[in-house]
Amino acid sequence: MKIIFLGDIVGRSGREAVGKHLPSLRGRLKADIVIANGENATHGTGINPDCCAELYGYGVDCITTGNHVWDKREIIPYIDKDPRLLRPLNYPGGTPGKGYYIHQMDDGRKILVVNAMARLFMDPLDDPFAAVDDLLKKNALRLNVNAVFVDFHGETTSEKMSFGHYFDGRVSAVVGSHTHVPTADAHIMTNGTAYMTDAGMCGDYDSVIGVRKDIPVLRFTRKMPTEKMTPAEGEGTMCGAFVETDDRTGLATVIKPVRMGPVLSETAL
């Protein structure tokens, strides 16, 4: 199975980068599914139904989120109506939406997409390790799904790496999101799980993690309140990861970073 995952899409420039690069990349790689973290897609924080529709129109099949999922309040009544839009699995019981989605290909193969959120320097949610453990008891790799992809949304490299090692061999891939900076550690772990600490962002990299650079610089140098954080609006770069799995085992055979656009060095896929 061929999987494209796109890191946090930040504002208009991020959406435009996806619209510019994803259709051709998906066709060239013959990707079976495209997953994208969309929690910053609408004006740099949160996501609304119109942006969901826009991303689906570009070829995204499933949208994951994170700590900014509720920033646009209109998404609250919408999320239960759209099974392809996920919020972190380890939110408390009764929270709207779901933390996983099973996508079935035309040929009958199935992939379980999981969205979980870390806890270190993040919101104090339920245990993400236990939550994914419980989910895999009902949707085990090679039992009733052909692949399992996890977007682990978190702040620290240590928690993300620990999560990857904990599920190594039980899921096809663990790729992190949230920090907006692509890491150089894409590899296949000992037991066959593809891993990358952070996929980076889809957005303007002539910025501070997607925000117009003058605003956070002023906050750091003056230590005073500034205007609201505003997404940078230059040409965006599309960042993420490409994962290929063995249909017999569900484990990964390939993981490569995706970087298409200005500022960062582009990848050859």
Please report the pLDDT score of residue 269 as a whole number. Answer: 85
Are 44 and 158 in contact by the 8 Å Cβ rule? The answer is no
Closest CA to 64 of 134, 182, 151, 160: 151
Decide if 186 is inside a domain. yes
φ, ψ (nearest 5 deg) of residue 248:
-75, -35
Chain segment 36-80, per-residue pLDDT in tens: 999 999 999 999 999 999 999 999 999 999 999 999 999 999 999
Radius of gyration of the chain (CA): 17
Q: For the whole prediction, is pTM greater than 0.85?
A: yes
Other C-beta atoms closer than 10 Å to the C-beta of 104 total 11
DSSP, collapsed to helix, strand or coil, labels residue 32 as coil
Classify the C-alpha dihedral 57-81-101-237 as positive or negative: positive
Domain count, the chain: 1
Decide if 267 is inside a domain. no
Q: Distance from CA of residue 84 to its chain's centroid?
A: 13
Decide if 153 is inside a domain. yes
Chain segment 115-149, per-residue pLDDT in tens: 999 999 999 999 999 999 999 999 999 889 999 99
Query: Could you list the pLDDT tens digit for every one of the 269 residues in the chain?
Result: 999 999 999 999 999 999 999 999 999 999 999 999 999 999 999 999 999 999 999 999 999 999 999 999 999 999 999 999 999 999 999 999 999 999 999 999 999 999 999 999 999 999 999 999 999 999 999 889 999 999 999 999 999 999 999 999 999 999 999 999 999 999 999 999 999 999 999 999 999 999 999 999 999 999 887 788 899 999 999 999 999 999 999 999 999 999 999 999 999 88
Q: What domain range includes position 240?
A: 2-204+235-260
Catalytic residues: 68
CATH, residue 240 = 3.60.21.10
What H or E segment, with its residue span, contains residue 58? helix 49-58
Are 229 and 211 in contact by the 8 Å Cβ rule? The answer is yes
Q: Distance from CA of residue 125 to its chain's centroid?
A: 18
State the Cα angle at 162 between 256 and 126, rounded to 5°.
Answer: 115
What H or E segment, with its residue span, contains residue 21? helix 11-29
Are 116 and 160 in contact by the 8 Å Cβ rule? The answer is no
Decide if 104 is inside a domain. yes
